[in-house]
Chain A
Amino acid sequence: MDPAALAPPLVTIPAPWGIFEALLLLTFTVHLLFMNVVLGGSIIALATGGRRDTPAQALAKTLPTTLALTVNMGVPPLLFLSVMFGGYLYTASVLSAVYWLSLIALAMAAYYLLYIYSYGWKKGVSRAPAMAVAVAFLLSVSFIMSNIMSLLQHPAAWTAYFDNPGGTILNLGDPTFFPRWLHFVTASLAVGGLYVALSNARAAGRGDAAATAKKSLGLFWFTRATLVQIALGIWFLLALPTDVMLLFMGKSGLHTAVFLTGLAAVAAALYFGFRGQVRSTVGALAATVALMVGMRDLVRTAYLAPYFHPGKLPVVPQYGPLAVFLISLVAAIGLTWYMVSLYLRTKGRA
Chain B
Amino acid sequence: MDYPVWQLAAAGGGFWIALIATVHVFVAHFAVGGGLFLVLTEAKGHRENSPAILDYVKSHTTFFLLLTMVFGGLSGVAIWFTIAVLSPGGTLTLVDAFVWGWATEWTFFLGEIAALLVYHYSFGRMPAKDHMRVGFLYFAFAWLSLFTINGIVGVMLTPGAWAATNDFWDGMFNPSFWPSLVFRSFLSFMLAGFFGFVTAIKIKDAPARERVVRSCVLWAVISLPFLALSGWWYLSVLPESTLAFILHGSTEITPYLAALPVIAVLVGMFALIMAVRLPLAVRTPVAALLLVLGFGVVGAFEYIREAGRRPFIISGRMWSTGIVPAQAEPLSDAFLPRARWARNKDITEKNRLDAGRELYAFQCLPCHSLGGPMKDIHTYTGQIGNEGVSAYITGQGRIFKQMPPFIGSPAEREALAAYITATVNGKQLDKPVVADIPALPTDIPAYDPDTAPHVLLSWCTLGLKCITDADGFFTFLPPGSAVGAVLIRRDIVPEVVKDGVEISYAAPEGFKHPSRHVEFWKYAPSLVGKKPKPDQSAAGKGMDGTLAFNEKSGTFEAAGIPVVPFADDGSINPYPLFTITAKDTATGRVLAETRTVLPVSSELSCWKCHGGAFRKGGVMGISDVTAEGILTVHDRRSGTDLAARAAAGRPVSCQSCHPDALFDAPGDPKRLNLSAAMHGFHANYLTGRGEEACAMCHPDSPTGATRCQRDNHAQKGIGCSRCHGYLEDHALTVLRSEKAAGKDRADIFMKNLTPRSVAAVSEINPRLAWIQEPDCLTCHTDFQTPDVATARAFNVWVKDRSGLYRSRKEDTGNVPCMACHGAPHATYPAKNPYGQDRDNIQPIQYMGAAGPIGGGKRCDVCHTVEMEGGEIHHPNMVKD
Contact = CB atoms under 8 A, between A and B. Distances in A.
Interface string B119-136: 001100110001001100
A317 to B, nearest CB: 11
B491 interface: no
Contacts of A324: 100, 104
A161 B341 contact: yes
Contacts, number: 192
B99 interface: yes
B100 A342 contact: no
A179 B818 CA distance: 91
A94 B125 contact: no
Contacts of A76: 103, 106
B3 A90 contact: yes
B101 interface: yes
A83 B117 contact: no
Contacts of B7: 165-167
A121 to B, nearest CB: 15
- B-side binding surface: helix, strand, loop or mixed? helix
B114 A342 contact: no
A346 B118 CA distance: 10
B114 A104 contact: no
B104 A325 contact: yes
- A-side binding surface: helix, strand, loop or mixed? helix
Contact of B107 (A158, A332, A345, A349): A332
A158 B85 CA distance: 15
Contact of A103 (B81, B113, B126, B166): B81
A9 B3 CA distance: 9
B111 interface: yes
B85 A90 contact: yes
A69 to B, nearest CB: 7
B115 interface: yes
Given A72-B109, A101-B16, A166-B6, A14 B97 contact: yes
A320 interface: yes
Interface stretch (B87-95, B394-402, B531-539, B621-629): B87-95
A91 B168 contact: no
B122 A342 contact: yes
Contacts of B866: none
A278 B334 CA distance: 65
A65 B66 CA distance: 11
B606 interface: no
Interface residues of A, number: 70
A69 B113 contact: yes
Given A14-B100, A14-B168, A104 B4 contact: no
B340 interface: yes
Interface in B373-387: none
A167 to B, nearest CB: 5
Nearest to A339: B118
Interface string A207-221: 000000000000000
Contact of B2 (A9, A14, A112, A158): A9
B108 interface: yes
A111 B169 CA distance: 37
B357 to A, nearest CB: 9
Interface string B225-249: 0000000000000000000000000
Interface in B3-58: 3-8, 16
B652 to A, nearest CB: 50
A320 B343 contact: no
A323 to B, nearest CB: 9
Nearest to A331: B107
A241 B97 CA distance: 35
A325 B168 contact: no
Give the interface centre of B6, B80, B82, B96 by most chain A CB atoms within 10 Å.
Answer: B6
B361 interface: yes
A336 B169 CA distance: 27
Contacts of A331: 107
Given A71-B77, A165-B7, A343-B121, A79 B113 contact: no
B168 A101 contact: no
B193 to A, nearest CB: 26
Interface stretch (B68-76, B299-307, B494-502, B794-802): B68-76
25 contacts: A13-B96, A71-B77, A72-B109, A74-B77, A75-B109, A83-B96, A86-B91, A89-B84, A91-B4, A94-B5, A100-B85, A101-B82, A111-B70, A115-B70, A166-B6, A318-B167, A321-B168, A325-B100, A325-B103, A332-B108, A335-B115, A339-B118, A340-B114, A346-B125, A346-B126
Interface of B: 2-8, 16, 66, 69-71, 73-75, 77-78, 80-82, 84-85, 88, 91-93, 95-97, 99-104, 106-111, 113-115, 117-118, 121-122, 125-126, 130, 133-134, 137, 141, 166-169, 340-341, 343, 361
Interface of A: 1, 5-6, 8-9, 11-14, 20, 23, 65, 68-69, 71-72, 74-76, 78-80, 82-83, 86-87, 89-91, 93-95, 97, 100-101, 103-104, 107-108, 111-112, 115, 158, 161-162, 165-167, 316, 318, 320-322, 324-325, 328-329, 331-333, 335-336, 339-340, 342-343, 345-346, 349-350
Given A321-B168, A322-B100, 8 more contacts: A68-B117, A72-B113, A74-B77, A76-B103, A87-B2, A115-B66, A167-B6, A320-B169
